[in-house]
A and B are shown apart, each in its own frame.
Chain A
Amino acid sequence: AQTVTQSQPEMSVQEAETVTLSCTYDTSESDYYLFWYKQPPSRQMILVIRQEAYKQQNATENRFSVNFQKAAKSFSLKISDSQLGDAAMYFCAYRRGANNLFFGTGTRLTVIP
């Protein structure tokens, strides 16, 4: 079985500062994909960033980057220069096979003006 753990139910960050959200996962597979999704109050699920397990280079999308540590099964999300619009629930997700995602329980991020 594969499980995804987000140990921080809530986090807060000052506007313009940097915050890191943690995610660990459990798998016996060597080939898989990892994702971070953002869910604002509108309930919409928005893909933030994705990482292929066979790539050692950490993915980056503008102000969002990941620290992927395959041996430690860790996949943290760093948000730089935080903006008010970054306030949301963030979900870490693991994918194997078809396109089925296994999600963590989420981290609620508050951005303080």
Chain B
Amino acid sequence: NAGVTQTPKFQVLKTGQSMTLQCAQDMNHEYMSWYRQDPGMGLRLIHYSVGAGITDQGEVPNGYNVSRSTTEDFPLRLLSAAPSQTSVYFCASSYKPSSYNSPLHFGNGTRLTVT
């Protein structure tokens, strides 16, 4: 029972490099989202998706791209990494987008450092 799987767990990038953070869930969840966690700022929503083929922006979308070609996967792409993107990234999913009885399931996070 894998739940929400994020890879990698840790990553170091140089400024200007691009990379993709992977997120996969095996619970057939419709809703998936990406958050970043910074000290003193809690978690902030980057992008979200309410189903395959549908994505939308959250609070802090700049510098990130997402796509949702399958129900299971929701990768987060950093186009040109900047030191301000140093953070811990969480992927989260739930069964129904608007259902109260569908709590968010979080992955274990990816710690990204941009030098």
Whether B104 contacts A99 by the Cβ 8 Å rule is yes
CB of B58 within 8 A of chain A?
Answer: yes
Whether A33 contacts B48 by the Cβ 8 Å rule is no
A20 to B97, CA, bound (A): 31
Binds B, one of A11-19, A44-52, A65-73, A77-85: A44-52
Taking CB atoms and an 8 Å cut-off, the chain A residues in 76-103 that contact chain B are 91, 93, 97-103
**Could you count the A-B residue pairs with CB atoms below 8 Å apart for me: how many are there?**
57
Interface size class of A (residues with CB under 8 A): 20 to 34
Q: Please, which residues of chain A bring their CB within 8 A of the CB of B102? A: 99
How many positions in chain B have a CB within 8 Å of any CB in the partner chain? 28
Contact A99 to B44, CB < 8 A, known contacts A43-B108, A44-B106, A45-B90: no
In angstroms, how far is the closest chain B Cβ from the Cβ of A31?
10
Whether B45 contacts A98 by the Cβ 8 Å rule is no
Cross-chain contact of A91 among B43, B58, B92 (Cβ < 8 A): B43
CB of B33 within 8 A of chain A?
Answer: yes
Cross-chain contact of B41 among A97, A98, A99, A105 (Cβ < 8 A): A105
In angstroms, how far is the closest chain A Cβ from the Cβ of B65?
18
Whether A50 contacts B103 by the Cβ 8 Å rule is yes
CB of B1 within 8 A of chain A?
Answer: no
Between-chain CB contacts (< 8 Å), 16 pairs: A9-B40, A45-B90, A47-B103, A50-B103, A52-B100, A98-B48, A98-B97, A98-B98, A99-B31, A99-B99, A101-B43, A101-B45, A104-B42, A105-B40, A105-B42, A106-B42
Beyond A33-B100, A99-B99, 11 additional pairs, beta carbon < 8 A = A45-B90, A45-B104, A50-B100, A52-B100, A97-B98, A100-B33, A100-B45, A101-B45, A101-B104, A102-B45, A103-B42
